[in-house]
Amino acid sequence: TRPKPSFKRVLLKISGEALMGDQGYGLHPPTVQRIAREVQAVHSIGVEVCMVIGGGNIFRGLQGSAQGMERTTADYMGMLATVMNALAMQSALEELDVFTRVISAIRMDEVAEPYIRRRAVRHLEKKRVCIFAAGTGNPYFTTDTAATLRANEMNCEAIFKGTKVDGVYDKDPMKFDDATRYETVSYDDCLAKRLGVMDASAIALARDNNLPIIVFSLDEPGGFRGILAGEGTYTRVQ
């Protein structure tokens, strides 16, 4: 039997691609709105919510550098892509009357607040959803690592990693019928077996701070709230 999760403060990590719907690129507003409703459902039961959104639907540093662009410049472009996604999510959430702040790791004061830890904590206490943008602000990192860093800094009880599948499998469930889902899996197994939950530095940072990662499906309507209420299927990395 697994422990019933009851969380007061969580961080939701989604990839940029989760916002692009069936398009090959960019933002699909109905999809952004659908995810905003998932967040609203959790926020409405009194859970304090942080968010980190990737940028892969717009730009990835590694892709840019593979095409000859200087790596750090390409990474900054990737970080700027996450700011666009954060603003789109802010807009969708505020349309649902959920108050938000976009907090950027790279200063751009006209667009987003700078990251000041104590200020962000205060926003959470006032029930504002904090959307952390621009990753860690450093090249050579990913938004998975940014999510783990911010979740630690904000004292979140867990990272919720919303994906297309309802957990972590021993092999790709899209390709293999006999793939089986783990109820729980250790950080070390994720790393050793390269289970693809998050990148290695993010998993190591979670492990070293005992921060559980809950992998679940964002395609399931009401799924995020369900898991916070102790229902549904997911994998807990611990």
Q: Which residues belong to the annotated binding site? A: 13-16, 55-56, 60, 75, 136-143, 163, 169, 172
- Tell me whether residue 56 or residue 223 sits nearer to ligand UDP (CB atom): 56
Contact residues: ligand UDP, CB under 6 A: 15-17, 54-56, 60-62, 75, 78-79, 81-82, 135-136, 138-139, 141-144, 146
One-character DSSP codes across 90-157: HHHHHHTT--EEEEESS--TTTSEE--HHHHHHHHHTTPEEEEESTTSSTT--HHHHHHHHHHHTT-S
In the complex, least distance from residue 65 CB atom to ligand UDP, rounded to whole angstroms: 8
Binding-site annotation: residue ranges for ATP: 13-16, 56, 60, 163, 169, 172
Q: Using an 8 Å Cβ cutoff, are 220 and 232 in contact?
A: yes
Which CB sits closer to ligand UDP, 90 or 136? Answer: 136
Centroid of chain to Cα 195: 17
**Annotated binding site for UMP, which residues?**
55, 75, 136-143
Task: Give me the least distance between CB of 106 and ligand UDP, in Å please.
Answer: 10
Residue closer to ligand UDP by CB (options 5, 39) is 39
Q: How far is Cα 119 from Cα 224, in angstroms, rounded to an integer?
A: 26
CB of 85 to ligand UDP, least distance (A): 8
CA distance linking residue 195 with residue 42, whole number of Å: 28
d(CA 59, CA 165): 23
Q: CB within 8 A of 65, min separation 6: which ones? A: 71, 74
Q: Which is nearer to ligand UDP, 40 or 82 (CB)?
A: 82
Closest-CB residue for ligand UDP?
54
In the complex, least distance from residue 230 CB atom to ligand UDP, rounded to whole angstroms: 27
